[in-house]
Each structure stands twice: as structure tokens, then as C-alpha cells.
Amino acid sequence: MKILKYLFFLLLIVIIAGSIYIATQDGDYHLEETKVIPAPVEMVFREVNELKNWEYWEPWSGEADDMIVEYGMKTSGDSASYSWKSETAGDGAIKIISSKPYSEIEQELSLITPLGESTSIVYWEFKEVETGTEVTWGIKGEQSFMEKMAFTFQEQSIMELMRPMLEKGLNNLENVVLNKMDEYTINVDGVIQHGGGYYMYTTTASKISQVDQKMGAMFSEVSTFMDENGIEKNGNPFVLYNQWNETSGNVIFSAGIFTPSQVITPAESEILNGFMPNQKVLKTTLKGDYKNLKEAWEQTRNYIEKNGLEVQQEANSFEVYLTSPDQVANPAKWITHLYIPVK
């Protein structure tokens, strides 16, 4: 009996010592991963800020096919939330504590597992860089006694287990965002009558591939000139192709903005006034990135050949931009109208 008592007390001492050891271990954890995604900062922020988007890129649901998700009253911005139940991965919930467009998001992550309930702070930081958006995804918190005890007997720490999940999530996020940016549609709308009119413009020569890079600054010059001189704007900005040489890859084009009436500009002015006649045109609508304009023009020209239309050789083709990168972050939502004058 004495031996059993001694063994019991020895076991008790070991348990107490082990508990003290585990309890005194540092349970704080803090890890983060950063990735540069070649996309506008506004678009990346919105993808994370809308919790209904998470199912397409978050890394956990792929590990549990029995996950049932329920969304809160709000799914984006402050106080937005969603929760899940899973016998495989455990239950949990995420709530947005603070959302500051387009720079940072702070969230509260609650998990219920066989080891008990735990709460962590999840944070996102978004920074515009030359090549896109630098995204940082981090998590910090403190392990409970049961969690510290469980990880004492595991080969990997909680940070070593979590880091690959953050990396996977950011990679998934990049793929989803880039796929959304690549979506586009081209529709040849048919022959219509375009009203034309007076317009203010500036002209330059460039490589065909550089038109979309140069036109923004040119539109800005025209717009500033019109504002400073009290000239009324009428409609959306457009590019008029004065000369187009597919063989050399060169183009002379004008960036213009319509105005209701003729304007006489100073002789030394680089911003001039032009006139586009009322004319019959074949119209095509591109919804998507400007990189798809080449295909849109090809489809428009193919339509002309298939339908026996005759191009007005003395008139110039042009593009009208209903949206711009300043107005809409996602290129898939940019709308451009293409016009070829026909007889």
C-alpha cells in the first residue's frame, strides 16, 4: 500500500510539475504573410472586405467537405460576419471589427474545437505598389492551457501549422482576383447613326501598343484646359485614330472630349478644336480590359466583311470610353464603344 501511495504522489508531482511547466510557457503567437498581387488596391480590398467572396479562396474549407456556412445581417464592412459548423474542422466565426478602405481590415476570429474555445485577431493591410497591391495577412492571439498542452506533444507549433494556410489563402486570393480581371465580352451592336459634334483634342504619335498608356495623360490635359477656360464638356472622352499602320505598329491618334459648340483656341495652344460629322457607323461594345481592344477591332472588321459593309475610307475610326480606371477598379467592368464609319 505504501508503494502505491508513493507512486500516486510521484504521479501527482509529475502532473503538477508538468502543468506548471505548460502554464508558464509563452502561449502568445503572431504570424503574417505578405504577397504582391498585380491588381488595383481597391479591387483586392473589396475582395477581402466582402465575406461572401471568402468561399472562393480561403484555405480551410478545402480541408473539410462538411462545412456549413451562415452569413450575418451584413457581409461587408464594419460588423459584417459569417460563421461555420464542421465536425471535421470544428465550428467558428469571423467578424469584421474595423474596415478602412482601401488600407486595412481588422477581424475577430473565434474557434470552437475539442481543445475549447479560442479568440484571435486577424488583420489585413493593403498597400499600393508599382506592380499592384502588397497584401499582408496576419493573425495574433494567445493559446489556452489546453492548446499549449496539445502542441507540446506535436512536432509543429501553431505558427508552423498556420503559415502554410496563410500562404495558400493569399495564392488563392491572387488567382481569384486575376481571373475576375480577365473576364470580358465583345458584342458587335450593328450599324447606327452617330451624331458627331465639336470636340477639344490633342494629338500625338506612338506605338499602337502604347495608346492605352498615353491616352490618360492626354485626356487630363484636355480636361484641365476645358476647366480652366470654362469650356463645357459634353459626353465621354474618346480616341480618334488619325492614322493607323499595322505593318509598322505605329499610330497617330487624338484624345478628345466633346463640347456643344465651336471653340477658337490661341494659335500657340496644343489643345485644339475639331469637328466630327454626323455619320453612319458600325458600333461594337467591349466590356473588359483595354488589352482586349485588338480582338474587339478584329471582330468588328470581320463583321464588316461578312455583312458586305463598305468602310468610309476618308473618315476615322474612334473609341469612346464610358468608364475609366479612375472610376472603376476592376478592368472586367470597363466599357468601351468602338466605331467604324461606313457608307
Query: Which residues, 6+ apart, have CB-to-CB distance to 7 below 8 Å?
Result: none
DSSP letter (8 states) at residue 111: E
Q: Locate 126 and state its grid cell.
A: 493593403
Q: Are residues 167 and 210 in the same domain?
A: no
Per-residue pLDDT at 12: 41
User: What is the strand order of the sheet 250-258 is part of?
Assistant: 185-194, 279-287, 335-341, 318-321, 238-245, 250-258, 197-207, 272-276
- Which domain-ending residue is among 134, 156, 182? 182
Q: Does residue 10 belong to any structural domain of this protein?
A: no
Region of residue 308 (phi > 0: left; psi between -120 and 50: alpha; otherwise: beta): left
**Measured distance CA(254)–CA(263) in Å, rounded:** 17
**Measured distance CA(113)–CA(91) in Å, rounded:** 7
Per-residue pLDDT at 47: 97
* pLDDT 10s digits, 84-105: 888 877 788 999 999 999 999 9
- Which domain-ending residue is among 134, 152, 182? 182
Q: Locate 63 and state its grid cell.
A: 480541408
The tally of domains found in the chain comes to 2
CATH of the domain at 288: 3.20.80.10
Q: Does residue 12 belong to any structural domain of this protein?
A: no
* pLDDT 10s digits, 268-319: 999 999 999 999 999 999 999 999 999 999 999 999 999 999 999 999 999 9
Q: Are residues 272 and 156 in the same domain?
A: no
Q: Locate 25 and state its grid cell.
A: 510557457
Q: Are residues 129 and 59 in the same domain?
A: yes
Contact indicator for 203, 223 with CB cutoff of 8 Å: no
**Measured distance CA(208)–CA(192) in Å, rounded:** 27
Query: Which residues, 6+ apart, have CB-to-CB distance to 3 below 8 Å?
Result: none
Tens-digit pLDDT profile for the chain (343 aa)? 555 444 444 444 444 434 443 444 445 778 899 999 999 999 999 999 999 999 999 888 766 677 889 999 999 999 999 998 888 777 889 999 999 999 999 999 887 765 557 788 999 999 999 999 999 999 987 765 445 444 444 554 555 567 888 999 999 999 999 999 999 999 999 999 999 999 999 999 999 889 988 999 999 999 999 999 999 999 999 999 999 898 898 999 999 999 999 999 998 999 999 999 999 999 999 999 999 999 999 999 999 999 999 999 999 999 999 998 888 999 999 999 999 999 9
Contact indicator for 98, 78 with CB cutoff of 8 Å: yes
Q: Does residue 229 belong to any structural domain of this protein?
A: yes
**72 lies in which domain range?**
26-182
Q: Does residue 5 belong to any structural domain of this protein?
A: no
Among the listed residues 147, 81, 138, the one whose alpha carbon sits nearest the alpha carbon of residue 114: 147
Q: Locate 104 and state its grid cell.
A: 486595412
Q: Does residue 119 belong to any structural domain of this protein?
A: yes
**Measured distance CA(190)–CA(255) in Å, rounded:** 24
Instruction: Give φ, ψ of 236 to 5 degrees.
Output: -90, 155
- Which domain-ending residue is among 161, 182, 203? 182
